[in-house]
Amino acid sequence: MTENKIQLNVPFAPQDEWYWCGPTCLSLVARYWGKEVSASEFARSAGINEHVGTSCAAMSCAARAEGFWVYETMRGSPEMLRALLADGIPTIVYVYHEEATDHGYGELDHFHFEIVTGYTDIAFVCHDVDPSVDGGSENKHVSLEDFKKMWCSEPGADGRWLLALSPRQADERFVPPHFSGEPHSS
């Protein structure tokens, strides 16, 4: 029996600031598409600060501000991730970690952005850019069961948030392959 396996060659670097997981993920996906946009440029576009971090909405706004077409949904699914990856599109997801990271600001951080770079039959492969956890993890394998438990939306929202970027030209509407009837934005 042949194993289903996809692994995209997404660059990796740990985030520079504790609250820069979002901008760092955006910068790495931009580099995957051949566009050099620094995490600090994305942080500026997102309007983040050291006490708040980045919201899901700010992530998509920052990507648009840097010229990307954006597909964002709160109705993500493992099948959707596999289809995006099979089409060569790395995807940023929002996750909740039971074990919080203490960044020294009085609050523990449970929420985090990661890049899904691949999958196997039993796991998703992710870049975790947080250097406070083993220096960051390039292409870590997360079992499907654990991935489903940690994948979430912002506090107070239901669903599973994902963000896919495309460097397509302004005259094209970006709707990832295999998806129709799903809200999209440009």
Report the CATH number that the domain containing residue 95 is assigned in CATH.
Answer: 3.90.70.10
Kindly report which listed range (19-28, 62-71, 120-129, 166-175) carries the lowest average pLDDT score: 166-175
In whole angstroms, give the CA distance from residue 51 to residue 1: 50
- What is the pLDDT, as a whole number, of residue 46? 82
- When comparing pLDDT for 31 and 51, which is higher? 31
- What is the pLDDT, as a whole number, of residue 13? 94
Is residue 57, in this structure, part of any structural domain at all? Answer: yes
Is residue 52, in this structure, part of any structural domain at all? Answer: yes
Q: What average pLDDT does range 48-76 have in this prediction?
A: 86
In whole angstroms, give the CA distance from residue 11 to residue 28: 6
DSSP secondary-structure letter at 21?
H
- The amino acid occupying position 177 is P
Q: What average pLDDT does range 28-39 have in this prediction?
A: 94
Is residue 78, in this structure, part of any structural domain at all? Answer: yes
Cβ atoms of 176 and 89 closer than 8 Å: yes
DSSP secondary-structure letter at 142?
E
Give pTM, 2 decimals.
0.84
Q: What average pLDDT does range 137-162 have in this prediction?
A: 85
- The amino acid occupying position 53 is G
- Res 178 pLDDT > 70: no
In whole angstroms, give the CA distance from residue 96 to residue 111: 5
Non-local (6+) Cβ contacts of 67 within 8 A are 35, 167
Is residue 37, in this structure, part of any structural domain at all? Answer: yes
- Res 56 pLDDT > 90: no
Query: Can you give the residue range of the structural domain that contains 49?
Result: 14-169
Is residue 6, in this structure, part of any structural domain at all? Answer: no
Which segments of 26-147 are extended strands (E)? Answer: 69-73, 91-102, 108-119, 123-128, 137-143
Cα 59 versus chain centre, distance: 9
Q: How far apart are the first and last CA of the chain?
A: 41
- Res 164 pLDDT > 60: yes
- In tens, the pLDDT along 70-127 reads 899 988 999 999 999 998 999 999 987 666 555 444 444 568 899 999 999 999 999 9
Q: Is 2 left (phi over 0), alpha (psi -120 to 50) or beta?
A: beta
Question: What percent of the chain has pLDDT above 70?
Answer: 76
Query: Which range, 33-47, 90-104, 129-143, 146-160, is most confident?
Result: 33-47
- What is the pLDDT, as a whole number, of residue 108? 44
Question: Nearest CA to 113 among 7, 26, 10?
Answer: 26
Is residue 44, in this structure, part of any structural domain at all? Answer: yes
Q: Total structural domains in the chain?
A: 1
Which segments of 11-79 are extended strands (E)? Answer: 69-73
Is residue 183, in this structure, part of any structural domain at all? Answer: no
- When comparing pLDDT for 154 and 11, which is higher? 11
- Res 170 pLDDT > 80: no
Question: Nearest CA to 162 among 151, 176, 173, 148?
Answer: 151
Is residue 182, in this structure, part of any structural domain at all? Answer: no
